[in-house]
Structure 1
């Protein structure tokens, strides 16, 4: 069997290092991950066959191969066509193109030259070392995002403290075209905003985003069904981009971005190492110039092509156009306290959250007309934005089980229910709710008064309500205490300081004192 020949791309690199840079065989072998014997063989053949440097500009790989490996005398070997691996790699990154299709096209143009297995093997051997044929990313398909392990240090002018700003990196799968920017934190708002900035830098959007399983992006990492942070998911929907977190314990999923992150750390952070910064803004003013140089740096593994050139050829033509409207986080309210009635105020309206986080802190984001609420970094609910009229938006599933039957609570509902007991009870409930800035804030107290009717007779509850009004001690606890200590049985003169407006309470369902007097004999 003939010995496998070294691909011509590698041969050209060996010759360039030898003739242009004057490197030794050992250094060339180290730079190209070859054996010293392999380097020596190439240079010997080059000299033996009378080839000259520099090579003609129009010399093809096939012609160079025939020059280095001419058919031996008496050999039946004929010059044969070989696949152009650079062309094949570019085509494989286009949507809907497969290696099978390219092989069929090749044999149609060059019949009886190469079997399917030989074609596949030739292509695998010719691809750069960092390209896995099975993981070859389609153009315009994916952008990989991650935070650099090392950030950029800056000094707080006021305190002299040294802080480290994390570095966000986004890299296209096919071209490795990269965006980078420093942040002053890794919270959800900044995470979404930096994606928006990255898309505007690219001028287009991918079909999928592949974030690392950082907590800000993925609430519950799972190899098969990860739970995406709601605000990040909304961002994806706005741009029609699928969010595909890198699979847990699947290192190949993150190879592109981890490679990009490592390169960015060396390229950008290394060039900033001797500079002193006093804010994240100063850092970000320094990064763009270096980032442009990074994307315009020729890549040895791709015959001197730059990331920008590959992006323009491979990713941008197949990416999605950006929508006319940006994804805007309109407002943010951090560390808002949930009220005991499991509602939180935002822009003069009250929105419910799950009852078990009452009295705790939440973060609120307004995205378009959607109110997104997070607790401890985890999305708990969303509501449609309502006018700032101090109204309430309540979801049934947020209520404790013993509250869900009262979905229709209102000031009138409580007064009407209290009127079935009597006018003094109705007045007490009315005054209890009036004590609160908004009636609904007194619903729990009003409900407590109504529930006393399950234990005590309407006559006693009426007397207790009247006594509570007399002493201006209006609360469920006060009325219950009056009943428990039988104070409602003690005579009470009509209070001079408070006169009940009976006309205001006149209602067919409101029972006056005569109701109980007329029914005592029954």
Structure 2
């Protein structure tokens, strides 16, 4: 789905339509169409959180149009084939048309085919210097040559990856070493970089690593990693990933990597470090000297140019640094909970067996379905198998079950009589876990509906005269046998009280 919210957000920050198209993975034509339509409807950023991309699509374009995507030719293959004798563009277009027909794809016409080939050939030959504005862009990458740390216990040499961030206007650099190049290191490096710069550039040009781009099918189909996108949104910047094997997309950081490898990594080659902290402390000293080194072909240094012309134009840092979050998919179990790191968190019961997205931070668990936030929990720590359950997530019958507890059974029994209260209290305390006795208490109190509250009170009194811990079964047997001492029409005790003699079977029995 088109990222309508992202397009409107970046437009409000003053980005060009071309940069918005790169960041949002859509064409420039789509960006223009969304912006113009939003102006017609007086829709502008900020937008309420409930205005999702799906809602905006219905508002902006009630009648969706299906765009026919035409298959683009393989320019690398065409460039190679045109070098062969006898191969012409007409022949290659004929083969291209046949391939599209077999795959049921929409082809380009011959004029368009030749136009795109011409554009590709010009790209191969042309070079261009792009003048950057102060505070506009920062480029980031991992340096090719790692540093080394010695394990103090084993003496093993551990390689440390070097993160490099460079402001494109002043060439002002930030460098930090990490044990690996995983997501946590990548995000942490950006947080520290922005703190070092004291502000945020409008555009972030990243390397094409998996921690930045999780899917890459070309220039127009790059998909930014979810956590990386969240971080950019937190700092109010736009990510434009470089293309695969296109170092000219981020020339400043590529050039600085070579200099940093010389003036920082290589300069520390004869020193030994036994922790990451020691290594980064030494890198910090070399980094200050590197940024203060005078330019060869222009006046000043990186730090002087940065402080004089660039730092004041950076966007201010947010009130709090970005909190690193991880994302995972989970299936809602039949007990309407999901499992995260062996802890269980409830989700509304109507999502049972659905796959949901889970955002995990150090303190919070958030659950999303189709980009809509369902709920959040404080993250559990400690013993595995703990539950965090929100009552509203439970089915109605399960919620009613939770209403029953020991205090409620005692209040119900107290309304019947003191003996019933003592009997229920004894049953509740008879089990190791109170919940194990709830069924017995429920069955005991339901006897009042069958035999009356007076008879139940009398039966409990009689049972308590035998033992201080009567059971549901013993009280029920007293009532069934009529030994509770109460006179009823159905009770055999009522029949025996009219007989003054020892024979209780009656004359009719013996007269037979």
TM-score (ref. length: structure 2)? 0.45
